[in-house]
Amino acid sequence: MLKELCIATAVIVILATSSFAMAKEGCGGVCSTCHTLTAKDATEILKKTGTTVTSVKQSPARGLFELLVEREGQKGLILMDYGKKHLIQGMVVDIETLQPASAHQQPNPPPKQPASLDVTKIPVTHAFIMGNPKGSKKLYVFTDPDCPYCQKGHLELKKLAKIAPDVAIYVMLFPLPMHPGAMDKSRTVLETMSHDLLDKAFEGKEIPKPEKESSKKAIDEIVAFANANGISGTPTMVMPDGTIQVGMRDAETMKKMLEGK
């Protein structure tokens, strides 16, 4: 069962201090003595992502910088290793309290997840439909092509389309800020409505760049709807009755859920 989430603001990461500390003999134990990074330098390192770093602090977990970033008006936290070679999308969790531990105040705390929503309000005119477009059962899936759990879930959706011929699967492309390449992929899929490009996007393959401004507007409407209705992570399913199911399931389980079993 694919219950894991690629959360918009946080993927819980428990870090083993010894594997990241990069400590050496003679270290006084204050990481900032040896390891520094400015917001300007961090922005330069991340320039290919189109992300602006507004603040850098030492993470509560040794061996990492905590970056406050902004992209297209959305803010979030990401982590960078002291070697300045890798990013970690998520937050640190204190093992004792099981609460998020961060050097910055969380810029966008996720809204409380509602139990259901009005499916008639979902902007399905911007959906990519898999399965039977005229199916009597409708499943709405908010998904991001660069989310690893969504990529696994996409394979299950393809299976579901084969074993449940009366189901229309409304793929609501919901690129998260932590995945800078997901927006262009989502736009291209909507512009072309190509099943081949949809599959390639979720397989992590390169696809053509978008060309129409209308596709950005369409994705923005999906994102605005998700944010307004407490959907902050992917994958998230909405059942025909509006019930929200966080995460995705295997094809057989989804088929049974749609049948009310």
For the stretch 210-259, pLDDT in tens is: 999 999 999 999 999 998 998 988 999 999 999 999 899 999 999 999 99
> Strands (DSSP E) along the chain, which ranges?
6-7, 12-13, 52-58, 64-71, 74-81, 87-88, 91-93, 100-101, 128-131, 137-143, 167-173, 233-234, 236-238, 244-246
pLDDT digits (tens, 9 = 90+) for 1-34: 444 444 433 333 333 333 333 434 444 556 666 7
- What percentage of the chain has pLDDT greater than the value 70? 82
> What pTM did the predictor assign?
0.65
Q: Compute the CA torsion angle 29, 87, 142, 166 (nearest 10 deg).
A: -110
Query: What is the rounded CA–CA span in Å between residue 200 and residue 145?
Result: 9
* C-alpha–C-alpha distance, residues 90 and 16, integer Å: 15
**All domains in the chain, ordered by first residue:** 6-101 (no CATH), 119-258 (3.40.30.10)
Give the dihedral of Cα atoms 128, 133, 136, 142; nearest 10 deg: -10
Length of the chain: 261
The confidence score (pLDDT) of residue 10 equals 39
241: left (phi over 0), alpha (psi -120 to 50) or beta: alpha
pLDDT for res 243: 95
Which tens digit of pLDDT belongs to each residue from 67-111? 988 876 677 788 899 999 988 876 687 788 777 788 887 665 555
